[in-house]
Amino acid sequence: MNKFEAVILLSPELGSQNLKSEIDRFKSNINNKDGKIVNEEDWGLRDLSYNINKFKKAFYSYFQIEISGNHIDSIKKELAQSENYLRHLFVKVKTHQELPTKLSNEKK
């Protein structure tokens, strides 16, 4: 199992119920591929550095994941096919950083 840290950006147009269901779908996708979510943080609605699909804000979610590396591409493909996910980033790490992250402590 490899360790990854992932950040997903979700559309600001999602209601709280739809946002929760999208995050739950992401988590179940990880679990279905024999992965494990070690930790997660909700960074909330934040400004984007540049507009993405005419949006100036997005909901940020951060995850620490343990999963086999060959499943990451299929997860990325599924995220790219959904209109609700604006961007995603997966970074392979040797050890997960300690939580809470600095970004979660910043004023939103």
Q: For the domain covering 2-105, report its CATH number.
A: 3.30.70.60
Task: For residue 12, say if its preceding peptide bond is cis, omega within 30 degrees of 0.
Answer: no
Model confidence pTM above 0.85: yes
Which residues, in sequence order, are bridge partners of residue 8? 61, 88
Distances (CA, A) of 36 to 2, 12, 81, 95: 10, 27, 22, 15
Q: What is the pLDDT of residue 100?
A: 75
Give pLDDT, residue 1. Answer: 86
Q: What is the pLDDT of residue 6?
A: 94
pLDDT at 7: 95
pLDDT digits (tens, 9 = 90+) for 58-107: 999 999 999 988 999 999 999 999 899 999 999 999 988 887 776 766 65
